[in-house]
Amino acid sequence: MSDEIIVELNNVFLKSDRGAPVFQDLNFKLVAGRSAIITGAAGSGKSMLAELLVGRRFAYQGSVELFGQVVRRSKKRTIRKVRRKIGGIGGIFDLVPSFTVAENIMFPMVLVGERKKVRKERLLNMLTEFSLLKQATERPDRLTRVERTLVQFARASVANQPLIIVDEPLAGLDQKTYERIFEYMIKISCSGRSAIFLSAETLPREIPNSDSYQLINGALV
């Protein structure tokens, strides 16, 4: 397993849109091939952490590095480059409303310039694996909550991006889908890729190759 650090937050301070402190001296490292489970109550800043990692928010103090690149407001090219390496599920990682299910799933491959033949093959694999063949031509507003979640997992898996951020993946799912999604979370963590799982509740079972943290009073413990 590589010792490459793919996420590093050093002494990060972040404020909300209203100016209230969210993170205070936040520090975090994630090594390639490992995953992190971050739990925290509603309002603790889990979704803001996701926004920070993809360059939708910026720290007013401290540094944010992904894949060895410093993420700053002024570095738009770096932000685009980093985002292409990150798959996202839940929270801010919604589906594109004007795209069909198939187009949403293929989108990460389009961004990285994958060949058309490869895109078609991987799309079929994802539609089959996540039982979405019948929904391939539907748009997101025609999908159920469960189907939207499955599409997001398919989209996050198709391009083999090295980091996946999963924000409240199990909320609102029926028990059968809950178990299915949890098994897929385990599969991600065992695949050699890295994941950050953000959850308001403690997960029902352990996830291999992962470390657990709590987000309390603006810091990870």
User: Which of 109, 136, 161 delimits the end of a domain?
Assistant: 161
Check which CATH number belongs to the domain holding 77 and give it.
3.40.50.300
Give the domain-ending residue among 161, 181, 204.
Answer: 161
Q: Residue 44, class by beta-carbon neighbours within 10 Å (0-12 exposed, 13-18 middle, 19+ buried)?
A: buried
Q: Which residues pair with 88 in a beta bridge?
A: 165
CB 22 within 8 A of CB 50: no
pTM: 0.93
Tokens of 210: 């992962």
Task: Print the domain residue range for 154.
Answer: 94-161
Report d(CA 29, CA 3) in Å as an integer. 11
Q: What is the pLDDT along the chain (221 residues), one digit of tens a residue?
A: 458 999 999 999 999 999 999 999 999 999 999 999 999 998 899 999 999 999 999 999 999 999 999 999 988 999 999 999 999 999 999 999 999 999 999 999 998 899 999 999 999 999 999 999 999 999 999 999 889 999 999 999 999 999 999 998 777 788 888 888 899 999 999 999 999 999 998 888 899 999 999 999 999 99
Collapsing DSSP to helix, strand or coil, 61 comes out as strand
Domain end, chosen from 142, 161, 180, is at: 161
Query: Which segments of the chain are extended strands (E)?
Result: 5-15, 21-31, 35-39, 61-66, 69-70, 86-89, 163-167, 194-199, 210-216, 219-220
